[in-house]
Amino acid sequence: MSSLKEICAGLPLDPLPPNRGRDPSIPHALVRTPNFTPAEERLALRNALRYFPPNLHATLATEFAQELRQYGHIYMYRFCPTLRMRAYPIDQYPCRTRQAASIMLMIMNNLDPAVAQFPQELVTYGGNGQVFSNWAQFWLVFHYLSTMTEEQTLVMYSGHPLGLFPSLPSSPRCVITNGMVIPNYSSREEYEKMFAMGITMYGQMTAGSYCYIGPQGIVHGTMLTVLNAGRRYLGSGDLRGCVFVTSGLGGMSGAQAKAAVIAGCVGVIAEVDEAPLKKRHEQGWLMEITSDLSHCIQRVRYSMQENIHRNTLKHTDISSTYSIISAICFRECLYQEYKKTGELLVDLGSDQTSLHNPFSGGYYPVQLTFRQANQLMNTDPERFKTLVHESLRRQVAAINKLSDAGMFFWDYGNAFLLEAQRAGAKVEKKGGGATEFKYPSYVQHIMGDIFSLGFGPFRWVCTSGDPADLAETDAIATAVLEEISSTVTERVRQQYSDNIRWICEAGKHKMVVGSQARILYSDQRGRVSIALAINQAIAKGRVSAPVVISRDHHDVSGTDSPFRETSNVYDGSAFCADMAVQNFVGDAFRGATWVALHNGGGVGWGEVMNGGFGLVLDGSEDAGQRAKLMLNWDVSNGVARRCWSGNANAYETIQRTMEDQRQLRVTMPNPVLEDQILDRALQG
Q: Are residues 642 and 514 in the same domain?
A: yes
Q: Are residues 316 and 391 in the same domain?
A: yes
519/272: higher pLDDT:
519
pLDDT in tens, 111-136: 999 999 999 999 998 888 999 999 99
* Domain presence at residue 665: no
* Domain presence at residue 164: yes
* Domain presence at residue 202: no
d(CA 315, CA 369): 11
For residue 123, give every residue at least 6 positions away whose Cβ sits within 8 Å of its Cβ, in sequence order, or none.
Answer: 29, 116, 117, 129, 130, 131, 207
Q: Which residues pair with 166 in a beta bridge?
A: 152
Binning pLDDT at 50, 70 and 90, where does residue 320 land? Answer: very low
CA angle, corner 647, sides to 675 and 554, nearest 5? 145
d(CA 370, CA 391): 14
Q: Are residues 89 and 128 in the same domain?
A: yes
Region at 351 (left for phi over 0; alpha for psi -120 to 50; beta for the rest): beta
pLDDT score for 2: 77
Q: Are residues 511 and 386 in the same domain?
A: no
* Domain presence at residue 673: no
Q: Are residues 192 and 242 in the same domain?
A: no
Could you tell me which of 131, 205, 201 has the C-alpha nearest to residue 456?
205
Asked whether residue 318 carries a pLDDT value surpassing 60, the answer given is: no
* Domain presence at residue 604: yes
* Domain presence at residue 681: no
d(CA 539, CA 200): 41
DSSP annotation string for 586-618:
HHHHTT-SEEEEEE--TT-TTS-EEEEEEEEE-
Can you give the CATH number for the domain in which 520 is found?
3.40.1770.10
CA angle, corner 323, sides to 360 and 267, nearest 5? 75
Q: Are residues 185 and 282 in the same domain?
A: no
d(CA 124, CA 682): 52
Q: Residue 113: what residue type?
A: P
Asked whether residue 143 carries a pLDDT value surpassing 70, the answer given is: yes
Number of domains making up the chain:
3
**Bridge-based pairing state of the strands 348-349 and 243-247:** parallel
What's the mean pLDDT when you consider all of the chain? 91
Q: Are residues 420 and 289 in the same domain?
A: yes
Are 333 and 301 in contact by the 8 Å Cβ rule? The answer is no
d(CA 111, CA 130): 10
pLDDT score for 309: 52
**End of a domain among 372, 394, 427?**
427
Helices 524-539 + 467-485 axis angle, to 10: 140
- Secondary structure element (H or E) that encloses residue 275, with its range: helix 274-282
Determine what percent of the chain is predicted with pLDDT higher than 90.
70
Q: Are residues 317 and 401 in the same domain?
A: yes
Q: Which residues pair with 348 in a beta bridge?
A: 244, 408
- Enter the pTM of the model: 0.89
556/282: higher pLDDT:
556
Q: Residue by residue, what is the 3-state secondary structure of 500-519? A: HHHHHHHHHCCCCCCCEEEE
2/446: higher pLDDT:
446
Q: Are residues 219 and 165 in the same domain?
A: no
For residue 204, give every residue at least 6 positions away whose Cβ sits within 8 Å of its Cβ, in sequence order, or none.
Answer: 124, 125, 126, 128, 129, 130, 598, 600, 601, 602
Are 325 and 334 in contact by the 8 Å Cβ rule? The answer is no
Asked whether residue 413 carries a pLDDT value surpassing 90, the answer given is: no
Binning pLDDT at 50, 70 and 90, where does residue 218 land? Answer: confident
Q: Are residues 298 and 416 in the same domain?
A: yes
Which of 248-257, 449-458, 536-545 shows the lowest per-residue confidence on average (mean pLDDT)? 248-257
d(CA 345, CA 92): 53
* Domain presence at residue 399: yes
pLDDT in tens, 1-33: 579 999 999 999 999 999 999 999 999 998 998
- Secondary structure element (H or E) that encloses residue 480, with its range: helix 467-485
Q: Are residues 490 and 561 in the same domain?
A: yes
Q: Are residues 88 and 138 in the same domain?
A: yes
CA angle, corner 549, sides to 544 and 551, nearest 5? 150
pLDDT score for 446: 87
pLDDT score for 282: 80
* Domain presence at residue 84: yes
Q: Which domain holds residue 26?
A: 4-197
Can you give the CATH number for the domain in which 291 is found?
3.40.50.10730
3-state secondary structure of 325: coil
Highest mean pLDDT among 42-51, 300-309, 377-386, 508-517: 42-51
Binning pLDDT at 50, 70 and 90, where does residue 469 land? Answer: very high
